[in-house]
Chain A
Amino acid sequence: MFHLVMISRVIVRCSFLALASIFLALLTSCQRETQVDRATREGILLVGNSSEPKGLDPHIVSGVLESNILRALFEGLVTSDPERDTATPGGAAAEVTPDATATVWIAKLRSNGKWSDGVPVTAQDFAFSYERLLTPDLGAKYAEMLYFLKGAEDFNQGKTKDFSTVGVEVVDNLTLKLTLRGPTPYFKEILKHYTWTAVPRHIVLKHGTIAQRGNPWTRSENIVVNGPYKLKSWRLTDHIEVERNPYYWNASNVVLNGIRFLPISNLYTESRMFRDGQLHMTYGCTPEIVDLMKKENPKELRQELYVGTSFFRCNTTRKPLEDVRVRKALSAVIDRKAICGSIFRGYTPAYAMTPPMGDYLPPHSPEIGIEKAQSLLAEAGFPNGEGFPRLKILIASRETAATQAQALQAMWRDQLGIEVEIENKEWNAYITAMQDLDYDIASAGWIGDYLDPLTFLEMWTPGNGNNLTGWDSPAYVKLLKQSFHEADPNRRFELLRQAEAIFVDETPVLLVAWQARNYLVHPSVEGWNPLLLANNPYQFIRLIPRR
């Protein structure tokens, strides 16, 4: 039976317990060095990685944060150069060479390539992996990355069940022949993507079938990899840690002993952890923190170009946005410099869909001026904005999207005399509304998968799942298709430039900014160079203890 004295005792004991545990905690956590100092000494990189990954199967996942982990675990036929934006044959293959038309590529695998269980990596593993990714039953979201292979699209869409129709051929245990849909001189760039890495055939088949969803082969007790690191521990929403893979072909040249990926979803928490010495590197950085770090510690702040574009989609199936004059008028009065200067940090005004990359020079959309914009709107039947319907700007609950939308709202009101509303939806409802074309104007962004303008242009073809504007231009599609068969890089870029010029002229999206990456890097990290795709190979990173 409960008694007052008993309750008082329980309370006193609880209080004592709490005090004791706090004291104990303080006592045990009295470290002389920070977590970063200790990790630096132990050669372990502590990385903020935004969120919990959806998995570690390179054929199932599709996000940037997953790719950050997969890059440590798996290695494809080529790997990223640690210093510049090119591919090097430092991967699982000793060399990858094209024929004269860049349509047939031969990959010679390394004879010392092994999985983390000691089994050799073979050409059969790669062929099996490409078959697995393309098998319709697996339902891989990123299968289209392999559509560069001849016959891959038909096989993936179930038009044929014969994998021998796909351009993948095992010549011998260490030689793989890849036949592409057309000349692809930039194929090595594509090969850097994690969808082109191999999965261990013997392990996948041990735990399930080739195309089985939910195959437990990537669980921490089962997973076998061929990258510089292997999985050490995985605790949901806490961390993923990888350690050296002793069977890696180049293990003696791997510098870091391990990497701990922390799924820190709140950028403010992440910055605090960085400043407290708990992280070597953050995933991102809010504009306020950028300003603060510029004043306090500019050496630790990184602001680098990124292959991403921020824009607003227009629903071209709805009135009045179906009228190109209206879209042009809306686009013309956007003060991109003001938006980049006051909302973002490090972003640059976007005048084309494709951000600057390599030798490709995107077309520059002409600046037509406010008066011309007003006259276009008048021609479309809305002089001084009169009679213009009250459109809605759809945004997802993200702060920068809201501020951008408010900026557009003010610019359109001041310059064109039209009123728009802002409709804020949570992420899932926002995506669904866009996919159902149930919106007027919607904030959006796109990050390239590889360093070629096609990653920004192919999505605007009709029927592409990422178009979502209803825009359809036969001339644009024709130019893109021509580029698929053009072997000369310069002529190919010219075709793509012409296609992009059509896109920019017809304005199915209102371009705002080319993105930048703002993040923090601890001074002890050496060898982390700015790469456009932010796909730095970890094995070349060094941690130098501070004095």
Chain B
Amino acid sequence: MIRLILSRIGQGAITLFVLITLTFFLVRAMPGSPYAEEKAIPEHALKRMKEYTGLDQPIPIQYLRYLKNLIVHQDLGDLIKKDGVKVSEVIGQSFPVSLSLGLLSISIALMIGIPAGVIAAVKKNTYIDYICLTCAMIGICLPSFVIGPLLAVAVGLSLKSINVAGWSSPGDWILPAFTLGLINAAYLARLARGGMLDVLSQDYIRTAKAKGAPSTRIVIRHALRGGLIPAVAFIGPAFAGMISGSFVIETIFQVPGMGQHFVNAATDREFFLIQGLVLFYGFLIVGANLLADLAQIALNPRLRKA
């Protein structure tokens, strides 16, 4: 077990190194420049600005400097377009927001998705199943930029206690959390249903039924454990995705989270910010996958011996 964890951590470190190297060179291969502006910057000013950020150096030297700063000083660098603002500051201010939103959303997703999936599987081919499946399909098909504004108009504009956007009071968390949660709930419901159906047709369930065990006990005690494996595997990366923010949700609900930085950093060619965010996101994904692996091992005894 410990060996497995150590090997996963080692793999994670290599993944992160490859990730940061690829990101470094890919962002510099993009057309355009961080200094492209509608009002053209005079040549001599441009030269000074590049000197300040170190972007006047050849790319291999920039790469070595970046690695040195990262490893020796744990410094992710400064923003190119905002003088004196550090990448770590941007992540430090926006991550707690995305984390709160992500935690609330994943709770909503679990609260709706798992029971819906389990009930649909138990009541297979009944109208309850069809309703759950239809809702899940709608949830998957409707993008957040449709659900979000609809919720904002239907709930936010009509209820005085809920703001349509912003992040100043806890009431502001509800709409973005529901929008983000509902979409993931739909995926979870389908995965939970599929997993449960698989398990419910197994011999040991038939045996339990034959022995006269009550159906709630069969579902909760015997089937749920195996049936949730696909859903648990999905939760890890989905959770990492949720806590690293969503551009669309943040734009619709004016949430100062991390997601908008991903998109804006790419369009603004904020090289250091893109690199910092990718590294941070990679770190989250590697961590979340490790946790998901451990959870799967806990759920599936066969994996423990593997």
Q: Which residues of A contact B (CB under 8 A)?
A: 1-4, 7-8, 11, 14-15, 17-19, 21-22, 24-26, 28-31, 34-35, 54-55, 57, 60, 62, 136-144, 156-158, 213-216, 218-219, 235-238, 262, 264-266, 268-269, 272-273, 275-276, 278, 426-429, 431-432, 435, 465-466, 468
Contacts and interface: CB of A to CB of B under 8 A. Distances in A.
Interface residues of B, number: 77
Contacts of B171: 25-26, 28-30
Contact of B170 (A28, A137, A215, A435): A28
Contacts of B52: 139, 213-214
A276 B166 CA distance: 11
Given A26-B161, A237-B260, 19 more contacts: A3-B298, A11-B110, A11-B114, A17-B107, A24-B170, A25-B173, A29-B161, A31-B161, A141-B39, A141-B45, A219-B84, A237-B256, A269-B252, A273-B164, A273-B165, A426-B267, A428-B30, A428-B269, A466-B39
A15 B108 CA distance: 7
B170 A7 contact: no
Interface string B289-302: 00000110111000
A62 B268 CA distance: 15
Interface stretch (B8-16, B203-211, B218-226, B277-285): B218-226
B7 interface: no
A15 B103 CA distance: 11
B89 A236 contact: yes
Contacts of B81: 54
16 contacts: A11-B114, A18-B104, A22-B174, A25-B173, A29-B172, A55-B84, A57-B83, A136-B44, A139-B41, A139-B47, A235-B93, A272-B165, A276-B165, A431-B38, A435-B36, A465-B42
A461 to B, nearest CB: 13
A273 B39 contact: no
B100 to A, nearest CB: 9
B299 A269 contact: no
Contacts of B137: none
B84 A215 contact: yes
A29 B256 contact: no
B169 A29 contact: yes
Interface of B: 30-33, 36-42, 44-49, 52, 78, 81-85, 89-90, 93-94, 104, 106-108, 110-111, 114, 149, 152-153, 156-157, 160-174, 177, 220-221, 224-225, 228, 232, 251-254, 256, 260-261, 267-269, 294-295, 297-299
Contact of A25 (B49, B167, B170, B299): B170
Nearest to B294: A2
Please give me the 3 A-B residue pairs with the lowest Cβ-Cβ distance, nearest first. A29-B171, A2-B298, A465-B40
Nearest to A449: B39
Contacts of A15: 107, 110-111
B251 A272 contact: no
B221 A4 contact: yes
Nearest to A30: B161
Contacts of B228: 7
A78 to B, nearest CB: 23
A278 B169 CA distance: 12
Q: Which of B114, B165, B268 has the most CB of A within 10 A?
A: B165
Nearest to A15: B111
Contact of A432 (B33, B46, B169): B33
A144 B44 CA distance: 12
Given A18-B108, A272-B157, A54 B33 contact: no
Contacts of A144: 42
A213 B83 contact: yes
Nearest to A19: B111
Contacts of A30: 161, 171
B94 A14 contact: no
B174 A272 contact: no
B295 A468 contact: no
Given A272-B157, A468-B40, A55 B83 contact: yes
A156 B47 CA distance: 13
Contacts of B260: 237, 265
A269 B110 contact: no
A2 B85 CA distance: 43
